[in-house]
Amino acid sequence: MRAILAPLKVLAHTVPTSVGIAVVTFLLVQLAPGDAVDVFAGESGAATAETMAGLRRALGLDLPLLDRLLAHLSGLVRFDFGCSIRYNAPVASLVAERLPSTLALMGCALALALVVGILLGTLMACTAGSWLDRGLSAVILFFYSVPGFWIGLMSIVFFAVRLGVLPTGGMETIGGDFSGPGDALLDRLRHMVLPTVSMALFFIAIYARLMRSSTLQVLGLDHVRVAAAKGLPRWVVVRRHVLRNALLPVTTMAGVHIGAMLGGAIVIETVFSWPGLGRLAYEALMSRDFKILLAILFLSSILVMFTNALVDLLQLWLDPRIRRRR
């Protein structure tokens, strides 16, 4: 019973939150000066006040703020994000086209960051004070402080331009002649390596540092000594009695980072010309195509809430003590 109730409770929190997010993002976007018609006029070089007013009327941009907000909300309830002015296509299909590539990039980057970060952090904690620990700490501090776009650019220069082993950008080789689906997949994977790693490095640094301190803390607890007194070798003690206890703070942070990763995706997607949501959002903002922007903002917040709910459930599983408190 409790196993069913817990996820439901977690989901129940998300409904009012998403309504709030829809309203706030809508109002925030209205604060940006100018609208799509201004951009059109600017790009076409000349436009009369009448044509602009006509365009606004046709697009519904002249309606009062409250009417537009209500139209926006009622659309969201029906999962209807409207039509893009710029691309002259339904926003939903534009977003759906870009979503998988961004999710793939984020998912891989997050998974890589978690696995490597947790491993490095545990290794550093178990060898705390040694040269290995100090060396790794220095490397990690470097990746923690260097911006992702610089790492991206430098990795392009080194791996793509100098060594020529990986592509400079994009998601696949354009006009590539593949003998089978395996080759096509391999080509995609090759394109993913640099953006994924560039995006992950910063988060690897965060998780490794976090994992190191939380592992050190757990290593000092009584039950770890008890486990050693049972005769378990050190690596078994760490795997069974330290890791799970030390993971809690890391999972909390990882949940928070989903949002940060979406933001970071814009930069990485631009550097690697990765056709994802981040770049779509950027282009929509520059052309004041608010419907796309709102749809992306809304989807991202849903994604963040969804992953946070997942993290909550993961923590319920990790720590039995939380189960009782609920």
Partner 1 sequence: MTRAPLLLVDGLSVAFPTATPVRDVGFTVGEGETVALVGESGSGKSLVASSLLRLLPAGGRIVGGAVRFEGTDVTRSTEAELTHLRGRRIAMVFQEPATALDPVMTIGRQVAEVIEWHEGASRRAARARAIELLDLVRLPDPSRRVDSYPHELSGGQRQRVMIAMAIACRPKLVVADEPTTALDVTIQAQVLELLDRLRRELSMGVLLISHDLGVVGQWADRVVVLYAGRKLEELPAERLFDGARHPYTRGLLAASPRPSALGADGLLTEIPGQIDGADRLPGCPFSPRCALARPSCDDRMPDLVAVGPEHTVACPVAPRGGIADAVAVGR
Please, which residue, 50 or 222, has the CB nearer to partner 1? 222
Report how far Cα 280 is from the mean position of its chain's Cα atoms: 15
Residue 41's DSSP bridge partners are: none
Distances (CA, A) of 165 to 161, 206, 210: 8, 28, 33
Q: Which residue in 150, 240, 256, 286 binds partner 1 (CB under 8 A)?
A: 240
**The two three-digit tokens of residue 120, written as one number:** 């490095």
Helix (H) or strand (E) holding 32: none
Cα–Cα distance list, 190 to 110, 162, 170 (Å): 18, 16, 10
Least distance from partner 1 to the Cβ atom of residue 242, Å: 9
Assess contact for 5 and 288: CB atoms under 8 A.
no
Give yes or no for residue 157 binding partner 1 (CB under 8 A).
no
Figure out which of the listed residues 191, 241, 288, 291 binds partner 1, where binding follows CB under 8 A.
241
233 binds partner 1 (CB under 8 A): yes
Q: What is the smallest separation between the CB atom of 5 and partner 1, expressed in angstroms?
A: 19
**Window contacting partner 1 (CB under 8 A); options: 36-44, 112-120, 149-157, 236-244:** 236-244
Residues contacting residue 67 through CB under 8 Å, at least 6 positions apart: none
Q: Which is nearer to partner 1, 62 or 319 (CB)?
A: 319
DSSP 3-state of 83 = strand
Tokens of 213: 């301190």
Nearer to partner 1, 35 or 312 (CB): 312
Instruction: Note the Cα 248 to chain centre separation in Å.
Output: 20
- Identify which range of 9-17, 174-182, 232-240, 303-311 contacts partner 1 by CB under 8 A: 232-240
Q: Which of 163, 176, 222, 235 binds partner 1 (CB under 8 A)?
A: 222
Span from 29-37, 189-197, 221-229, 270-278 in contact with partner 1 (CB under 8 A): 221-229
* Stretch of 66-74, 156-164, 225-233, 264-272 lying at the interface with partner 1 (CB under 8 A): 225-233
Instruction: Work out whether 245 is an interface residue with partner 1 (CB under 8 A).
Output: yes
Q: Give the largest CA-CA distance in the chain.
A: 85
Smallest distance, Å, CB 22 to partner 1?
A: 38
Q: Which of 76, 303, 318, 326 binds partner 1 (CB under 8 A)?
A: 318
In the block, tokens 């993913």 appear at 192
Position among 59, 153, 228, 302 found at the interface with partner 1 (CB under 8 A): 228
Give the span between the Cα atoms of 184 and 99, in whole angstroms: 20
Binding status of residue 1 toward partner 1 by CB under 8 A: no
Here the tokens at position 79 are 């999962």
Q: Identify the burial level of 88 via C-beta atoms within 10 angstroms of its C-beta, where 0-12 means exposed, 13-18 middle and 19 or more buried.
A: exposed
The correct pick among 105, 109, 227, 311 for binding partner 1 (CB under 8 A) is: 227
Helix H or strand E segment including 103 = helix 91-126
- 6 in contact with partner 1 (CB under 8 A): no
Binding site for partner 1 (CB under 8 A): 221-223, 225-233, 236, 240-241, 244-245, 318-321, 324
